[in-house]
Chain A
Amino acid sequence: MNMINKKANIVLWLMLIVFLAFFPKLFGIYYTNMVVTFAIFSVFATSLNMLMGYTGLLSFGHAMFFGFGGYGTALALKHIEGLGIFPAIGFGMLAAVVLALVLTPIMVRVTGTAFAMLNMAFAQLMYVLALKLYTITGGEDGIANFPIPGIFTESLRNSSDHFYYLAMIILGLCMWLMWFFTKTPFGQIQVGIRDNAKRVDYLGYKVPQSKAVVYILSAAFAGIAGSFYGLFHNMVSADGSLGMGMSFMPIIMIMIGGIGSFLGPMTGVAIFQLIDEFILRYTESSELVMGATLILVVVFMPMGFMGLFSMLKSKWKARFTGNAKMEKAS
């Protein structure tokens, strides 16, 4: 049974990869861009989930890492001539990591509401600074139309397909790394910290240092997502990347998708995008639809869609094993 399962898994993965590889040709630019957006926000939301779902630390300011990633890349491309695409993304990630390093000493000492608020405070500070230091950051207008280097071509700006592949590979890699992280012993500790920090401490694991590592990793991945966002739009702006809305977006997506499960954030992003498309086409009352969705999810599906899904899965499994038992019995 296990061998067949393993083989089935590999086949499924291969099919998925082939599907994704041919996606642009099959579905055109519009849907390709949707998938790129999906990838960017999946990484962003999952990076927040590393803090929330696993370590139990809710942050109201995660947009600051997203934004730093975007600005890091944009500024690097604007000021350094001939910079390649990978170093540019690297700059973005670096910017986010540096910010996280600076904040870590403060952040590891707090939990709960204080942690959430502190992050919000600093995100707000970054936002206001981005607006005020407009000679560097472009203020409200942000930085736009900076050169985007290509890998095989002159510029990625002209090739949606190449950008798509680059995004899928790097963002896919990020997702895999984050998943891998949760399977490591270190990752398991994070769940422990969420559930009972004191016990983890007594067991000899250093809680603050663990928190720091997760915080910085989470920031790094958010930074990469932000970097891609900036490249994708060829623009970074304070409102677009650093605003409160951007801090709340991953929280909402995790909520809709389901906290604590790895696929939760991704599911939330997908559903969010579907709702967005729906709003775009059929109604002008975007606030009403979004608001109603949030209310419904919280009241009727507190564990998110993944929660619903796993509940259905266990019911389905129960029925099957129940049947099997009956067959055996008879």
Chain B
Amino acid sequence: MDPTTVMYVSQGLQGLAYGMILFLIASGLNIIFGMMGILNMAHAAFFMLGAYICYQIVAMTGSFWLGFLFAPIVTAALGVLMQQLFLRKAHVLGHFGELILTMGIASVIVAAIKKFWGTQNLPLSMPDSLNGMVSIVGISYPAYRLFVIGLALVVLVLMMLLLYRTRLGKIVRAAVSDREMVNALGININLVFMLVFGGGIWLAGLAGVAIAPILTVFPGLADQVGMDAFIVVVTGGFGSLVGAFIVSIIFGLLSSYGVQFLSNFAPVLMVCFMAIVLVIRPNGLFGVKE
């Protein structure tokens, strides 16, 4: 393949990978807002927490995979704790109260991270098994990025299966449309929402662990990705996993080819796309009207 074609195809592959990264980050946010109507401003903070906890586990045990397995769980546990202690009380004021509360919690998490781990950069490398290049259609490609793509696909499939093929999923979907009824049927509504929230935060933690090896683990990590996740969810439509997935891919490709052809105007492309989509479909591309 001649170099120019290689370049264009690489950009395409690259765009897909970045899209998957975006999807991983955004999926948790999407689920929580779509299912519970809570705009979780602390999502990026939990993302960062997942990365830090993974660093800690790696520092203590030397194994990335242990971190990969347990860091999201620990993060989810902390998220559920936060929800039980504070978020439920905020229900009085509705969405607005939840918004402000999660903003406060985000600040507290960041402060706690700085207190516990300090302000300097922390090293988090990918496992040696994934550290290398593979050859796809004659193009050299980092193995780890393939791993991330795979992970995102697995997450999507898992979530869809969980929601649409299991009894638990049915209960969750029912609870979302009609709380009282499900409650009346004797199902513990609080438990259901706790699971949903925990699941969303688990995804945030997972994203943090998966993406940290590509980035630097430092206290500004949350700010770095927070806006991106938000834009994806907003454009894709709250509550639609498929929407988030498709929009993530679109953003990924826009970003890659934007850089290729428009260089530093690429970020404008993304925001313009978001604005245009919202003007035509105010609830997002695949959003469901409230």
> Touch between A and B in complex, CB under 8 Å?
yes
**A: which residues have CB within 8 A of B?**
58, 106, 109-110, 112-115, 117-118, 120-122, 124-125, 128-129, 132, 244, 248, 251-252, 255, 259, 285, 287-288, 290-295, 297-299, 302
Chain A residue numbers with a CB within 8 Å of B108 are 287-288, 291-292, 295
State how many angstroms separate the Cβ of A245 from the closest Cβ of chain B.
Answer: 10
Can you give 18 A-B contacts (C-beta < 8 A)? A112-B290, A118-B279, A118-B282, A121-B234, A121-B271, A121-B274, A124-B271, A124-B274, A248-B103, A251-B99, A252-B103, A255-B97, A287-B108, A291-B109, A292-B108, A295-B86, A298-B104, A302-B90
- Given known A-B contacts A125-B272, A299-B89, A287 and B111 have beta carbons under 8 A apart: yes
The CB with the most chain B CB atoms within 10 A, among A244, A255, A259, A287, is that of: A287
Instruction: Indicate whether A295 sits within 8 Å of B101 (C-beta atoms), given known contacts A114-B282, A117-B278.
Output: yes
Residues of A within 8 A of B275 (CB): 121-122, 125
- List chain A residues, Cβ under 8 A from B264: 132
**CB-based closest 4 A-B pairs:** A291-B107, A294-B104, A291-B108, A288-B111
Is B136 close to A, CB under 8 A? no
Per-residue interface assignment for chain B, residues 129 to 172, with 1 indicating a CB less than 8 Å from any chain A CB and 0 otherwise: 00000000000000000000000000000000000000000000
A252 to B107, CA, bound (A): 13
Given contacts A290-B107, A298-B90, contact A124 B279 (CB under 8 A): no
Q: Return the chain B residue nearest A126 by Cβ.
A: B271
For chain B, what secondary structure do more than half of its interface residues adopt (helix, strand, loop), or is it mixed? Answer: helix
The one of A244, A259, A288, A299 in contact with B96, judged by C-beta atoms closer than 8 angstroms, is A259
Nearest Cβ in chain B — how far from A55, in angstroms?
A: 14
**What's the interface size class on B, roughly?**
35 or more
A294 and B101: CB pair below 8 A? yes
Contact present for B100 and A294 (CB under 8 Å):
yes
B residues 232-246 near A (Cβ < 8 Å) are: 234, 238
A330 and B89 alpha carbons, distance in the complex (Å): 45
**Bitwise interface map of B from 105 to 126 toward A, beta carbon under 8 Å scored 1, else 0:** 1111111101100000000000
Q: Is the CB of A109 within 8 A of B90?
A: no
* Interface contact B265-A132, CB-CB below 8 Å: yes
CA distance A211 to B101 in the complex (A): 28
Q: B211-245 vs A: 1/0 string, CB under 8 Å?
A: 00000000000000001001100100010000000
**Contact between A114 and B100, CB atoms less than 8 A apart:** no
- List the A side residues contacting B272 at CB < 8 Å: 125
Residues in chain A near residue B110, CB distance under 8 A: 287, 291
Q: Is the CB of B103 within 8 A of A302?
A: no
Given A114-B282, A128-B268, A287-B111, are A255 and B227 also a contact pair (CB < 8 Å)?
Answer: no
Whether A120 contacts B265 by the Cβ 8 Å rule is no
In the complex, which residues of chain A have a beta carbon less than 8 angstroms from the beta carbon of B290? Answer: 112-113
Chain A nearest CB from B34 CB (Å) reads: 11
**Judging by beta carbons under 8 Å apart, are A244 and B227 in contact?**
yes
Task: Tell me, in angstroms, the Cα distance from A103 to B114 when the chains sit together.
Answer: 40
Q: Mark B261-273, 1 if CB is under 8 A from A, else 0.
A: 0001101100110
Contact of B185 with A by CB under 8 A: no
Q: A118-B279, A252-B100 are in contact. List 14 more A-B contacts (CB 8 A).
A: A58-B96, A112-B290, A113-B290, A114-B282, A124-B227, A129-B268, A132-B265, A290-B104, A291-B104, A291-B106, A291-B109, A295-B86, A298-B101, A298-B104
Residues in chain A near residue B179, CB distance under 8 A? none
Residues of chain B contacted by A293 (CB below 8 angstroms)? 104
Least CB separation from A132: chain B residue: B268
B60 at the interface (CB under 8 A from A): no
Which chain B residues border A113 with CB–CB below 8 Å?
39, 95, 238, 283, 290
Which of B93, B107, B274 meets A288, CB within 8 Å? B107
Please state if B101 and A299 are interface contacts (CB–CB under 8 Å): yes
B92 with A120: CB separation less than 8 A = no
Which residues does chain B contribute within 8 Å of A128, judged by CB atoms?
267-268, 271
